[in-house]
Amino acid sequence: MTARLVVEEAIRTAAAVIARSRHVAALVGAGLSAESGIPTFRGEDGVWTKFGEPTFDGWELFNHDPKAWWEASLENAAQYSDFARSLDAAMPNAGHYALAEMEQHGHLAHVITQNIDDLHRRAGSRHITEIHGNRYLVRCMTCGGRDRLSTISLARIPPLCHECGGYLKNDTVMFGEPIPEDALRECYRQAAIADLFLVIGTSAVVYPAADFPIMAKRHGAALIEINLDDTALTDIADVVIRAKAGDALPAIVEQLHGRGL
Ligand code: OAD
């Protein structure tokens, strides 16, 4: 079989598995947003491959001196990296819209995304857990409440939560920072109840995110991987689609429509 036929067959199989599943969850990574112009982290053009991983002291600095952290982060925003620029310019792509459509038609219950770009919400997905946060939100370090960054006053640094007075921090999860409790709880819940996990555009090397499909698999869920390359989860995937997420996901939706679903 040619590579194209292998992909087409995998897409047909994936649609059939999705159609007969009861609770489908997705774990999404940077590969989904690559077609929106946001570079991935690892791989040839990955931001960390090119520039190295960020320094590990952000979380420590915030805990030690939140005012200094906010000042540094506002100064960084003023310098405005290419990566940040690509995030702010990005629009949802066909893959994001296909996931939103699957949710609207009852074929996808929940998206766990490692991406901080807000593109799932903008594409129309509703049940989303942003396990690494959202670049456009702030989160209270005391009560966990979230707000749009654009709506809070930065006249006072660090800004304070209007609910409980705790310190606010950008919602993006930094190295060393614990995953927000509410997000983690929802991910474990999805891992426990899903009978199918879609693993889309992630190298699946960052934990705990990579663990959720593994946990689901352990209790009998099927795994469908959509990725351009092999990943840490390829060996345990039941269906592997070696294609761009922006091509594969709309093709799956088309197959589901073809089945009258
Ligand atoms: P990576 O950069 O590690 O992996 C991106 C994956 O997407 C790779 O496996 C690529 O093969 C695949 N890929 C690239 N383009 C694709 C496309 N068009 N369609 C399908 N797949 C494609 O990104 P993540 O796995 O998301 O966390 O990285 C996980 C976490 O690492 C990030 O959330 C980030 C970092 O630590 C934090 O910053 C907290």
Centre of ligand 1 to C-alpha 28, Å, is 8
pLDDT tens per residue across span 199-248:
999 999 999 999 999 999 999 999 999 999 999 999 999 999 999 999 99
Backbone dihedral angles phi then psi of residue 21, each to the nearest 5 degrees: -90, 155
Q: Which residue of the set 96, 132, 219, 257 is catalytic?
A: 132
Ligand 1 atom showing the smallest separation from residue 245 Cα: 19
Centre of ligand 1 to C-alpha 260, Å, is 33
Among 3.40.50.1220, 3.40.630.10, 3.90.45.10, 3.90.105.10, name the CATH number for the domain at 1-38+92-133+178-261. Answer: 3.40.50.1220
Q: Is the pLDDT of residue 55 over 70?
A: no
- β-sheet with 24-28: strand ranges across: 128-130, 110-113, 24-28, 196-200, 222-226, 239-241
Tokens 């396990």 belong to: 131
Q: What are the E-state strand segments in 47-108?
A: none
In the prediction, which pLDDT does 175 show?
87
Ligand 1 atom showing the smallest separation from residue 35 Cα: 18
pLDDT tens per residue across span 1-46:
677 779 999 999 999 999 999 999 999 999 999 999 999 999 888 8
Contact 250, 95 (CB under 8 A): yes
Q: Model's pTM, two decimal places?
A: 0.96
CA distance 21 to 1: 28
In the prediction, which pLDDT does 45 show?
83
Instruction: Parse the chain into domains and list their residue ranges.
Output: 1-38+92-133+178-261
Ligand 1: residue of 49, 228, 234 to mutate (most ligand atoms within 8 A of CB) is: 228
Number of CB atoms found within 10 A of residue 150's CB: 8
pLDDT tens per residue across span 99-147:
999 999 999 999 999 999 999 999 999 999 999 999 999 999 999 999 9
